[in-house]
Structure 1
Amino acid sequence: MYKILIVEDNSIITDFLINVISELYPKWSVYNADSYKKAIDIAMNQDIDLFILDYELNKDNLTENGFNLGIELKNIPKYKNTPMVFETSYPNHIFSIINELHCIYYLIKPYEKADIQHMLNKILNYNNLEKRFSIKDSFGINSYINDNDIIYVNTNRHTLEIFTTANSFLCMNYSLAQLIKESDILIQCHKSYAINPKFITNLDKTTYTVTLQFNDKVFSIPIGRKYKETLLRKMD
């Protein structure tokens, strides 16, 4: 589930953005804020994957604009590398937002559905957003994991242990069922395990085990009897 925060004080534009994004990506969560303060509150209480910010946010208080909001958000450690898209009615703002905030896309008002779709495609290709999970550990620290880098997942007493090509993580904000549902890759092979089939090197139908390997690391994972046929079908 990917989270987008739209910060825009024009409700018509906000509704248009929400409708288009929800139509294209119905599983995504879209939040909206019509003020600088509300945007910060949402950002602090959620883990946002993409910001869409109105450059001319507050006409009555020019310091509370999208540019300054972007700077403040970038100073929050978890959003240091989070992509930002800016909306503006004035093309002369583009230079500052690209150079100062390194935004990778901007929308010139008025824009259409095709512009939003093009923007989202570029963001997805740039940051692999569609394959990324925000994992929160027992200390409340967030890590971002790409779907394709997960080797296998094991659940034990409401805690997930996720083994990836780089490291292993204890995860407190996903259940095994939820992770499998949102992943395009993982296959459940046991009530407590899910695996990435690209790492399979052997499947033993007599001992009900599957062997996974990444470089010199080898993992032997049990196969539950009720999952055997499903696993075999998905591997065909």
Structure 2
Amino acid sequence: MKNVLILEDNQITRNLIVEILSGVAKNLKVYAVGNIYEAYKIAMTQGIELFIVDIVLDTSVLGDVSGIEFVDRIRKITSYKYVPVVILASLEDPKFFVFNHLHCYSYLEKPVDIDTMKKVLKEALEVPVIRYEKEYAYFRRDGILYSILKSDILYIETANRKNRIVCRKEQINVAYKSCKSFLEELDSKQFIQCNRSTIVNKKHIKAVDYVNRYIYLKEPGMVLELGVSIKKRFLQELMDD
């Protein structure tokens, strides 16, 4: 599964790019937004492996090049230093800057030729990207943002509309989220769902009893239940490095 972020203010163009992506590759998670604020939020919480960015995001501002500013900031983040970026624009002036300063994969002038876009996006998706995993996870409680070292998290419970994060030395109650939402935000293969309401850090698993459906953690006395419907998927993800 590859994550793609489209930053384009024109909804028709956004929809066209989404449609083209669906035709050139499978197993894509596509985020399509029209402003840099949403784009930053997604880039900071999801591991993006291809950016498609329009240079002009606000036509009401004369000389707007906020798309370039977005890419410039992204390039300063270690994990995005070499991630492919495809630029869309009807401008010629920034072309040299885009290629030589921001090291973008390609520059497509508007109106974009659809066949050319298909070719460029297909090739960009095939570029191998090294994913740098973030060390910390961030959770909010009572208006306060907590940072927790991912490696310290043993498991997370999402039962009874409450969330409990169990770490080596502490337990933290945070605002409710579903297991799916937690897994998306954690964005790490080390966390897997083991039953309907629990996510476990597989680095802390000592042994698994598949017959009786128990998961034994390395921490003394800690045992989790393995859900019947999740058992097969759990085994596959447990073996996935």
TM-score interval for Structure 1 and Structure 2 normalised by the shorter chain: 0.5 to 0.7
Task: State the partner residue of 1:87.
Answer: 88
Task: State the partner residue of 1:201.
Answer: 206
Task: Report the residue type matching 1:176 in the other structure.
Answer: C
The 5-angstrom pairing of residues 107-122 of structure 1 reads: 107-109=107-109, 110=112, 111-122=116-127
Task: State the partner residue of 1:55.
Answer: 55
The 5-angstrom pairing of residues 149-160 of structure 1 reads: 152-156=155-159, 157-160=161-164
Query: Secondary structure at the residue paired with 1:64?
Result: coil
- Could you say if the C-alpha distance between residues 222 and 135 of structure 1 is closer, same or farther in structure 2, counting changes exceeding 3 Å? same
CA contact (8 A) 1:204 1:210 kept: yes
CA contact (8 A) 2:106 2:120 kept: no
Task: State the partner residue of 1:21.
Answer: 21
Deviation (angstroms), 1:135: 5.3
Measured in 1, the distance between the counterparts of 2:177 and 2:103 equals: 30
Measured in 1, the distance between the counterparts of 2:152 and 2:198 equals: 16
Measured in 2, the distance between the counterparts of 1:17 and 1:104 equals: 18
Measured in 2, the distance between the counterparts of 1:116 and 1:133 equals: 31
CA contact (8 A) 1:3 1:47 kept: no
Query: Secondary structure at the residue paired with 2:129?
Result: helix
Q: Deviations over 1:206-228 (max 9, x none)?
A: 98642345xxx778332257469
- Name the % identity: 16
Q: Deviations over 1:180-215 (max 9, x none)?
A: 6998675443444233556533235798642345xx
How many residue pairs align between the two structures? 216
With the length of structure 1 as denominator, give the TM-score of the two structures.
Answer: 0.56
- Could you say if the C-alpha distance between residues 90 and 41 of structure 1 is closer, same or farther in structure 2, counting changes exceeding 3 Å? closer
Gapped regions of structure 2 (runs ≥ 5):
none
Deviation (angstroms), 1:175: 1.0
Deviation (angstroms), 1:120: 3.6
CA contact (8 A) 2:194 2:231 kept: no
CA contact (8 A) 2:33 2:39 kept: no
Measured in 2, the distance between the counterparts of 1:104 and 1:145 equals: 32
Q: Deviations over 1:102-147 (max 9, x none)?
A: 455333334321311332444x724469x9998542247497999x
Report the aligned-residue RMSD. 5.3
With the length of structure 2 as denominator, give the TM-score of the two structures.
Answer: 0.55
- Could you say if the C-alpha distance between residues 16 and 201 of structure 1 is closer, same or farther in structure 2, counting changes exceeding 3 Å? same
Query: Secondary structure at the residue paired with 2:42?
Result: coil
CA contact (8 A) 1:55 1:87 kept: yes
Task: Report the residue type matching 2:222 in the other structure.
Answer: S
